Amino acid sequence: MSKNENFSRLHELLDRINIGHEGSNQVEDKPELSDQLAAYILWLDSEPMIPERTYSIHFETESTSVQVTDLSFKIDVNTLSQLAAKKLEQDEIGYCKLSLGQKVFFDAYSDNQITGSFTIFDSLSNAMLGTGLIDFALRRAQNISWHETNINQETRSNNKHQRPCVLWFTGLSGSGKSTIADELEKKLYELGKHTMLLDGDNVRHGLNRDLGFTDQDRVENIRRIAEVSKLMVSSGLITIVSFISPFRAERSMARNLFNDGEFIEVFIDTPIEVCEARDSKGLYKKARAGKLKNFTGIDSDYEEPEMSEVVLQNSDANIDDLVNKILDYLRAHSKI
């Protein structure tokens, strides 16, 4: 089905619904400029649309990144009723709040069917995933501006005599992420460096304690920690992040928050058989017995990195050797 046919399909459904939304009938000069929108989305891909995952959105003349910050409801195409939903499956239609990577000019679809429509693509493969029609701009988007401060990242970094970065550890549960990250921070501390270690389990005791282990919660888990890591780097710290972070899309999202060279992905490449044999927490045993759902590597996917800055084979390696490989990388790239 062509893009225009998908737009028509979505438009016909909205004609049947014939319901208004807050702000949709407000008169404004057109086109509007905003980075936050309310819109209807028809999802076309076999993989579901997950809120907070970063996609690419294409308008008539502009393209940028997009996140669905809220899936308000999906629409039953038979009864036209509004249903609660946490994600959109293939051929489902939802009413969503969108956050864009930059402000764009647009019209409401009711005013202009060309500038009021968009398509959504996969940020990595560029495959088309969905189509959408704009309802209106979210008013809160117009009231926020970035506040520049006198003390910035460069000032803080110079004060600490170091170049801040984030070392993003990814790998299966039991791969050795936390152990290696802890030893690395110890070595950096001994070198007089200013660091902060963010461990996945520890963060789930506080900031992310409301999140579970569904794909949607894992996406939000990484989004939050990526934003926190960005603040840490802005403060001039060498930030060590130890999270499974199983999906390439979210690791790519995290990378894109940082300047070139600031994001260093460290893949702890440990075979699942080795991880399972260690199983110090008994998690694999529970997952195999069906007592622990959505466990990475068992019934939830882990997408291995394709081009990490540092890859560590950790089947039977000496921990000091692994840490020294990371230190060698930091020295070679003038981080320490």
Q: Which domains does the chain have, with CATH numbers?
A: 3-143 (2.40.30.10), 153-332 (3.40.50.300)
Whether 245 is a known active-site residue: answer yes
Residue 104 one-letter amino acid: V
Which of 256, 247, 246, 201 has its CA nearest to residue 226? 256
Give me the tens of pLDDT residue by residue for the chain, a chain 336 residues long: 666 677 777 777 766 665 444 444 444 456 888 999 999 999 999 999 999 999 999 999 899 999 999 999 999 988 888 999 999 999 999 999 999 999 999 999 988 889 999 999 999 899 999 999 999 988 765 666 778 888 999 999 999 999 999 999 999 999 999 999 999 999 999 999 999 999 999 999 999 999 999 889 999 999 999 999 999 999 999 999 999 999 999 999 999 999 999 999 999 999 999 999 998 789 999 999 999 998 999 999 999 999 999 999 998 889 999 999 999 999 999 999
Q: Which of 245, 252, 308, 334 is catalytic?
A: 245
Predicted model pTM: 0.82
Contacts made by residues 182-189, CB under 8 angstroms, sequence distance 24+: 183/319, 183/320, 183/323, 184/240, 184/323, 184/326, 184/327, 185/240, 187/323, 187/327, 188/238, 188/327, 188/336
pLDDT (0 to 100) of residue 146:
74
Name the nearest CA neighbour of 279 among 254, 57, 289.
289
Model pLDDT, residue 286: 93
